[in-house]
A = this chain, B = another copy of it.
């Protein structure tokens, strides 16, 4: 299969490195596997016989490489130059672009799509999954929610007989970092936020994280993917962590609770600060994410892992291998 990486930022570049390192493992599954394209916002580089990956990895700006075409990445998809894309352009939850157009076109042409990009999934989950089904191709998005925690493949492959009843999760590492610092260091929200911004964990405009928008996006995707619902971001009630004071956290701590921003899928969908007993498996700290499932058979399963960063490549690579195993005739 011929793979193209659309979106060549932090994740795209690191993914390419890891695929290169793991090439012999991948070629055991698909001996014809090639990386043929890599696109950024200015254009793309393409070679039908396989890109010179070492050159790509060591280049700061691929736009300056000879052979770089200043054309929309969409052309890589349009002209049947690949069989599978990793869509890793930045998340945009307003209109999903440019990812939504990339994914829509790819699926409509039967090209398999792997994406850690939440925007298109939040806005058009049902449309895209149906498009994939209709065109007999795969749409996998393990990296889109809780980074390296393999929640979608776990439910799909490891809990096949279970019915998921409820889900609770710490789905945003930035807010967990802030709340953990407030809990352990007894500092205010403002100082913890500033520290997170200085460390590059929080954005200059932190509202996407601290007001629960990011976690709400993940609740939408989890609900639609794991529980067969068809919900939108406005169906998720949201409460920010901006109102959480040091006093509230200290009081909770004295009673052996921590305050965590919890995404909930139950009758209602919600992202809000909650008191969690410090001995509960969901009560993890720092930038960790955690997902607590309640099912009819296993009863309770909790998964903990890193929600963002390089670790997400574990999820993306697992999706790639899943597609290759399903689709490669040996």
State whether B161 touches A298 (Cβ < 8 A). no
Q: Is the interface of A mostly helix, strand, loop or mixed?
A: mixed
State whether A299 touches B304 (Cβ < 8 A). no
Q: Which of A14-42 contact B (CB under 8 A)?
A: 18, 22, 25-26
Task: Tell me, yes or no, whether A198 is within 8 Å of chain B by CB.
Answer: no
Provided the pairs A278-B278, A318-B161 are in contact, do residues A303 and B302 lie with their beta carbons within 8 angstroms? yes
Task: Tell me, yes or no, whether A206 is within 8 Å of chain B by CB.
Answer: no
State whether B148 touches A317 (Cβ < 8 A). no
On chain B, the residues within 8 Å of A95 by CB distance are none
Which residue in B18, B158, B281, B303 is a CB contact (below 8 Å) of A288? Answer: B281
State whether A148 touches B297 (Cβ < 8 A). yes
> Closest CB-CB distance, A28 to chain B, in whole Å?
11
State whether B285 touches A311 (Cβ < 8 A). no
Identity of the chain B residue whose Cβ is nearest the Cβ of A147 in the assembled complex: B298
CA distance A302 to B301 in the complex (A): 10
Range of interface residues on chain A?
A: 35 or more
Which residue in B25, B284, B301 is a CB contact (below 8 Å) of A149? Answer: B301
State whether A298 touches B304 (Cβ < 8 A). no
Q: Which of A145-165 contact B (CB under 8 A)?
A: 148-150, 153-154, 156-162
Provided the pairs A154-B154, A281-B281 are in contact, do residues A314 and B300 lie with their beta carbons within 8 angstroms? no
Kindly list 18 other residue pairs between chains A and B, CB separation below 8 angstroms, not including A281-B288, A302-B302. Answer: A148-B301, A149-B301, A153-B158, A157-B157, A157-B322, A158-B158, A159-B314, A160-B317, A161-B317, A278-B279, A295-B314, A297-B311, A298-B305, A298-B306, A298-B314, A299-B306, A301-B305, A303-B304
